[in-house]
């Protein structure tokens, strides 16, 4: 074995760069965060060649003193924290003093800055970690950092960079996240000499309109709730609109874009019963809380957080969004809401009865009486969802309908969950077994069945080829995800390929989910892969990906099921391991025995 020796600084920084700035978009994010930390009110971004060739960020922030320039590009040098206790309440976006050193180790970096109140600007240049002396520069105010030829001196890393278009798509998304989170700063973005964004400083609404489209705000419910020092504000797109827009899901915690499982799960739950199964939620939400209650020092790119009381945060976020969505649905004229929602509207109370009684909020079930869902024969729907929701969906899912199979004897030992009697509010199945009444949460049960099927396919989820590929208009970031995560998609049972500069074709679907809407499921899964991130997505996050996919592809509330279809679901539950709980740990069914019922009615037996 070779002798142990300390690594040279440059190499240490290059290794760190692999984690901190794995691609141009990550470098861009770090530079933008530095500008915001410096209190910039205007930030201009100029990219060339997807950010690989050149990445320049100019701000009008506080600037850096001449004598601090060398420290700014040195590792472990920061102006933002000083004590270990500061780590417990980080109020700035940066705190490690690592970003600039990492970027400078793998690029040609030039940093020019004029500190507030100083007559001159100064420049420092670093080439592959070698720092040149400070020289005078011309700059009206603030800081301008230019990063050229990213990874020019680390060919192994450079090889991992994708085509210019892909890196550009990632930069565009990084810019969008920062721009959304900080509308108080004016921002511009230019790529290869073409102006892409010009955003005036202003409020959140205007920023969202500029970046996500007017329709996003128009169709969104306003969220604004506060409890125990935690505040959630922003916009949650109403279910009726959800699928029409791209999957825009942004959550900011104390001004920082994060991917957090607790939050995304809470949001999925909030939408669960009001969203048609082939639609995706869309939202832009800001969560603010005392920085002591959230740890941001858990991920090299600072995109993950850990809440001290994650259970409480989950509840708070879910209820806040649920309430917001309920209010907005009530404000809509009943007819147009019903038309837009199609079948899903059946569950939305026309006069504002919150759908909260499931969650113990004590609402009036009377509001639902008029909207009890009825089975509509195939071909009679006539609403805009007709194509998205094939009427024989359930026939294929649970086998053909057989009226003779309907009411059967409840005391059958082979069928512990009994036999279906009816469906309640499009959410529950009521079944009768020997002990009494069984209540089944349709979505939760189906989700569990699909998840177990998916998990049972070891290396790779089997593909069900589609006779006619489903195509959809894709965003650049979606095309980039397909290119980068081909292996993961393959393992998940997807056959996806670009068939044009902005079009993706789904040629095959994961067999256990082959009845879900191909484009919607594909988009949801692409989104998940991106969220979970990294080239190791499938290996490391397999169960999470499968679980989320099962949730996306499973039957939502508001689907009318015929009795044989309900029975088929009960039979599948009996045959499925752990069918008693959904993937999120909620029960999927509940038994009310005859003696429970007798007690309820004080009926002595």
Judged by the rule CB under 6 A, the positions of this chain that interact with ligand ATP are 30, 34-35, 38, 59, 61-64, 72, 78-80, 94-101, 143
Identity of the residue, 100 or 397, whose beta carbon is nearer to ligand ATP in the bound complex = 100
Of 25-54, which residues contact Mg ion (CB under 5 A)? 34
Cα(243)–Cα(520) distance, rounded to whole angstroms? Answer: 8
Q: How far is the CB of 18 from ligand ATP (least distance, A)?
A: 15
Q: Which does 329 bind (CB under 5 to 8 A by kind): Mg ion, ligand ATP, none?
A: none
From the CB of 46, what's the least distance to Mg ion, in Å? 19
Taking only Cα atoms into account, the Rg of the chain, rounded to an integer number of angstroms, comes to 27
Nearer to ligand ATP, 95 or 472 (CB): 95
Taking the C-alpha atoms of residue 20 and residue 524, their distance in angstroms, rounded to an integer, is: 27
The candidate with the shortest Cα–Cα distance to 501, out of 190, 167, 166, 24, is 166
CB-based contact 124:134 (threshold 8 Å): yes
> Measured from the CB atom, is 103 or 546 closer to Mg ion?
103
Report what 579 binds from Mg ion, ligand ATP, none; CB cut-off 5-8 Å by kind. none
Query: Closest approach of Cβ 16 to ligand ATP, in Å?
Result: 10
**Smallest gap from residue 57 Cβ to ligand ATP (A):** 7
* Burial of 601 per CB tally in 10 Å (0-12, 13-18, 19+): exposed
Which residues lie below 8 Å from residue 439, measured CB to CB, with a gap of 6+?
424, 428, 429, 430, 431, 589, 590, 591, 592
Residues 6+ apart with CB under 8 A from 380: none
Spatial CA neighbour of 246 closest among 272, 284, 274: 284
What are 165's two structure tokens?
């278009």
Per partner kind, with CB cut-offs from 5 to 8 A, the member of Mg ion, ligand ATP, none near residue 564 is: none
152 binds, among Mg ion, ligand ATP, none (CB under 5 to 8 A by kind): none
Name the phi and psi angles at 288, rounded to 5: -125, 135
| Residue 285 touches which of Mg ion, ligand ATP, none (Cβ within 5-8 Å per kind) | none
Residue at shortest CB range from Mg ion: 94
| E strand or H helix that includes residue 565 | helix 563-575
Q: How far is the CB of 78 from ligand ATP (least distance, A)?
A: 3
Complete edge-to-edge strand list for the sheet that includes strand 436-441: 419-424, 428-432, 436-441, 589-593
Q: For residues 261 and 264, give the distance between their C-alpha atoms in angstroms, rounded to a whole number.
A: 5
Residue nearest to ligand ATP (CB): 94
Rounded distance, CA 255 to CA 250, Å? 11
Would you say 258 or 274 has its CB closer to ligand ATP?
A: 258
508 interface partner picked from Mg ion, ligand ATP, none, CB below 5 to 8 A per type: none
- Give whichever of 101 and 570 is closer to Mg ion, judged by the CB atom: 101
Q: Which does 59 bind (CB under 5 to 8 A by kind): ligand ATP, Mg ion, none?
A: ligand ATP
Supply the minimum distance, in Å, between the C-beta of residue 173 and Mg ion.
19
Nearer to ligand ATP, 75 or 355 (CB): 75
Closer by beta carbon to ligand ATP, 64 or else 440: 64
Residue 150 Cβ vs Mg ion, minimum distance, rounded to whole Å: 17
Query: How far apart are the C-alpha atoms of 587 and 579, rounded to whole Å?
Result: 9
62 binds, among Mg ion, ligand ATP, none (CB under 5 to 8 A by kind): ligand ATP
The entry of ligand ATP, Mg ion, none near residue 35 (CB within 5 to 8 angstroms by kind) is: ligand ATP
Choice between 40 and 440, CB closer to ligand ATP: 40
In this structure, what token pair is assigned to residue 242? 């959800």
Interface positions, 72-131, toward Mg ion (CB under 5 A): 94, 99
Picked from ligand ATP, Mg ion, none, the partner binding residue 96 (CB below 5 to 8 A depending on kind) is ligand ATP
Which residue reads 């993950």 in tokens? 304
Q: Any idea which residue has 């009206």 for tokens?
A: 140
Shortest distance, position 71 Cβ to Mg ion, whole Å: 13
Q: Residue 98: which of Mg ion, ligand ATP, none does it interact with, CB under 5 to 8 A by kind?
A: ligand ATP
Nearer to ligand ATP, 104 or 317 (CB): 104
Q: Give the contacts of 260 (CB within 8 A, at least 6 positions apart).
A: 251, 253, 304, 305, 307
Confirm if 101 and 73 have CB atoms less than 8 A apart: yes
Q: How many CB atoms lie within 10 A of CB 125?
A: 18
Residue 211 Cβ vs ligand ATP, minimum distance, rounded to whole Å: 22
Burial of 389 (0-12, 13-18, 19+ CB in 10 A): middle
- 535-562 burial, b at 16+ Cβ within 10 Å, e below that, comes to eebbeebbeebbbbbbbbbbbbbbbebb
CB of 24 to ligand ATP, least distance (A): 16
Smallest gap from residue 96 Cβ to Mg ion (A): 7
Nearer to ligand ATP among residue 118 and residue 231 (C-beta): 118
Q: Which residues bind Mg ion (CB under 5 A)?
A: 34, 94, 99
């Amino acid at each position: 074995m070779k002798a142990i020796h300390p690594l040279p600084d440059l190499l240490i920084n290059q290794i760190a760069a692999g984690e901190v700035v794995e691609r141009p978009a990550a470098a861009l994010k770090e530079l933008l965060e530095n500008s915001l930390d410096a209190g910039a009110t205007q930030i201009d971004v100029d990219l060339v060649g997807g950010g690989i060739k050149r990445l320049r960020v100019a701000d009008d922030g506080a600037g850096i003193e001449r004598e601090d320039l060398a420290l700014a590009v040195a590792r472990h040098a920061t102006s933002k924290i000083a004590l270990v206790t500061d780590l417990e309440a980080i109020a700035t976006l940066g705190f490690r003093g690592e970003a600039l050193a990492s970027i400078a180790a793998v690029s040609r970096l030039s940093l020019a800055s004029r500190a507030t109140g100083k007559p001159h600007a100064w420049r420092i240049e670093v080439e592959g970690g070698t720092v040149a002396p400070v020289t005078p520069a011309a700059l009206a105010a603030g800081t301008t950092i230019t990063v050229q030829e990213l990874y020019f001196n680390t060919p192994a890393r450079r090889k991992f960079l994708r085509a210019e278009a892909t890196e550009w798509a990632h930069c565009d998304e990084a810019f969008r996240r920062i721009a959304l989170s900080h509308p108080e700063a004016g921002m511009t973005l230019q790529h290869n000499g073409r102006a892409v964004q010009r955003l005036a400083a202003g409020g959140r609404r205007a920023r969202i309109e500029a970046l996500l489209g007017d329709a996003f705000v128009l169709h969104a419910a306003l969220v604004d709730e506060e409890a125990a020092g935690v505040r959630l504000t922003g916009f949650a797109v109403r279910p009726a609109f959800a699928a029409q827009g791209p999957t825009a899901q942004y959550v900011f915690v104390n001004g920082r874009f994060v991917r957090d499982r607790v939050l995304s799960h809470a949001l999925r739950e909030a939408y669960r019963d009001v969203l048609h199964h082939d639609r995706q939620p869309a939202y832009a939400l800001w969560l603010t809380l005392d920085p002591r209650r959230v740890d941001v020092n858990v991920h090299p790119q600072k995109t993950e957080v850990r809440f001290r009381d994650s259970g409480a945060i989950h509840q708070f976020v879910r209820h806040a969004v649920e309430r917001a969505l309920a209010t907005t649905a009530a404000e809509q004229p009943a007819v147009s809401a019903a038309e837009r929602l199609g079948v899903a509207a059946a569950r939305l109370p026309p006069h504002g009865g919150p759908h909260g009684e499931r969650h113990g909020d004590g609402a009036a079930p009377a509001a639902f009486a008029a909207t009890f869902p009825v089975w509509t024969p195939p071909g009679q729907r006539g609403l805009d969802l007709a194509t998205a929701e094939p009427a024989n969906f359930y026939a294929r899912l649970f086998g053909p309908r057989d009226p003779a199979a309907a009411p059967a004897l409840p005391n059958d030992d082979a069928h512990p969950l009994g036999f279906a009697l009816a469906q309640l509010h499009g959410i529950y199945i009521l079944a009768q077994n020997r002990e009494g009444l069984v209540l089944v949460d349709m979505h939760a049960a189906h989700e569990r069945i699909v998840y177990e099927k998916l998990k049972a396919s070891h290396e790779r989820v089997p593909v069900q080829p589609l006779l006619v590929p489903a195509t959809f208009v894709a965003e650049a970031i979606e095309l980039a995800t397909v290119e980068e995560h081909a292996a993961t998609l393959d393992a998940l049972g997807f056959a996806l390929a670009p068939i044009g500069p902005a079009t993706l074709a789904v040629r095959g679907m994961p067999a256990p989910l082959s009845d879900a809407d191909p484009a919607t499921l594909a988009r949801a899964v692409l989104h998940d892969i991106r969220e979970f991130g990294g080239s190791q997505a499938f290996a490391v996050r397999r169960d999470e990906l499968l679980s989320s996919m099962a949730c996306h592809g499973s039957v939502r509330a508001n689907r009318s099921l015929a009795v044989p279809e309900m029975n088929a679901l009960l039979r599948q539950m009996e045959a499925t391991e752990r069918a008693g709980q959904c993937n999120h740990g909620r029960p999927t069914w509940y038994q009310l025995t005859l003696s429970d019922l007798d007690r309820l009615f004080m009926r002595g037996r």
